[in-house]
Structure 1
């Protein structure tokens, strides 16, 4: 699988950004909280194309927080379209997608970019590849639901996400409780046996 027309894919959290500065990152998708300062790590990176989105990692409305919205997912998919159009301008490329922890918003974004670039790829194969890139992935279900609709996956992406959640819960049972404490119980309940 060669998703998003690029040579290397990386997902990480903010604290990991300095460790990727010497890895020839050509494209960055940053997803951070609206009030969070822009990470300084990028000043040490070689020149690269970067898109910055700001919204919170929540799945239900909370006072003072910005829910992931359809226009945020549209921006991620536009980033993917721009990446595909620039394919002929490079021989290789390294896409880095990050959020605060590299677990939810960034993994949802990477999943939708892979789904966009590989429309013939099965949804379960996309999540398997995601788990290879970032084993601790727990994609934001709101973002995936928007992408599922926008990419014409007809609910299959969301169903594959449920199976992905199920695998994560079985691999690391304590993770489910941590997600519940973070207000993500609805996602834990989505988990199904696969």
Structure 2
């Protein structure tokens, strides 16, 4: 994200947040379940700008859970716009995006921010860069679908996500079991179609 003076990108889960408290994080995007309390780890971070979004990491409607919606993705992209506007006010920055485990909502958010900041980069290259940041990345397909539309990627983002899932299954076949067990079988099927 050189165009917005962010030289360091980090993705993590809640349990990893204390490891980043001393790393001079300047901007944080928190994606939490609605019922999850605010992580105490942030009290140890130096002053930073933070945006909090709350929805569940699901891809199908489930009773009592909140699906990712278009408005959530719009808020992620609004965060990215504010980040870009503030680039003249700083020399450098460190963006940390986290969710519960640092696997799905946070990786979806980070890749859409990367795509927004560098629209000239191909979708497949964006996924390669994402894996370099967070090897276990399995972005939420609902979020990527909305981002595909909002960023004008005309289906290319979702198609690259399918290929990414396929590469992840080859790298770690355990993803198939794990994602199926948590109700994400449709994404596994995307990878093998």
TM-score by length of 2: 0.98
State the match for 1:83 in structure 2.
83
Question: Is contact 1:33-1:55 (8 Å) kept?
Answer: yes
Question: Is contact 1:56-1:65 (8 Å) kept?
Answer: yes
How much is the aligned-residue C-alpha RMSD, in angstroms? 1.1
Q: CA deviation at 1:2?
A: 2.9
- In 2, Cα distance between the equivalents of 1:12 and 1:176? 21
Q: CA deviation at 1:174?
A: 1.5
Mark the runs of 5 or more structure 1 residues left unpaired by the alignment: none
Please give the per-residue CA displacement for 1:154-189, whole angstroms capped at 9, x wherever unaligned. Answer: 000000000000000011112111110010000000
- 2:137 aligned with 1:137, yes or no? yes
Structure-to-structure mapping, 1:176-187, within 5 angstroms: 176-187=176-187
Distance 1:107 1:3, change over 3 A: farther
Structure-to-structure mapping, 1:65-104, within 5 angstroms: 65-104=65-104
State the match for 2:171 in structure 1.
171
State the match for 1:26 in structure 2.
26
- 2:32 aligned with 1:38, yes or no? no
Distance 1:89 1:3, change over 3 A: closer
- In 1, Cα distance between the equivalents of 2:5 and 2:192? 32
- 2:20 aligned with 1:48, yes or no? no
Structure 1 residue runs of 4 or more that deviate by more than 6 Å after TM superposition: none
- In 2, Cα distance between the equivalents of 1:72 and 1:167? 27
- 2:157 aligned with 1:157, yes or no? yes
- In 1, Cα distance between the equivalents of 2:3 and 2:56? 26
Question: Is contact 2:7-2:94 (8 Å) kept?
Answer: yes
- In 2, Cα distance between the equivalents of 1:17 and 1:159? 32
Q: CA deviation at 1:7?
A: 1.1
TM-score by length of 1: 0.97
SS in structure 1 at match of 2:98:
strand
- In 2, Cα distance between the equivalents of 1:136 and 1:36? 23
Question: Is contact 1:180-1:188 (8 Å) kept?
Answer: yes
Mark the runs of 5 or more structure 2 residues left unpaired by the alignment: none
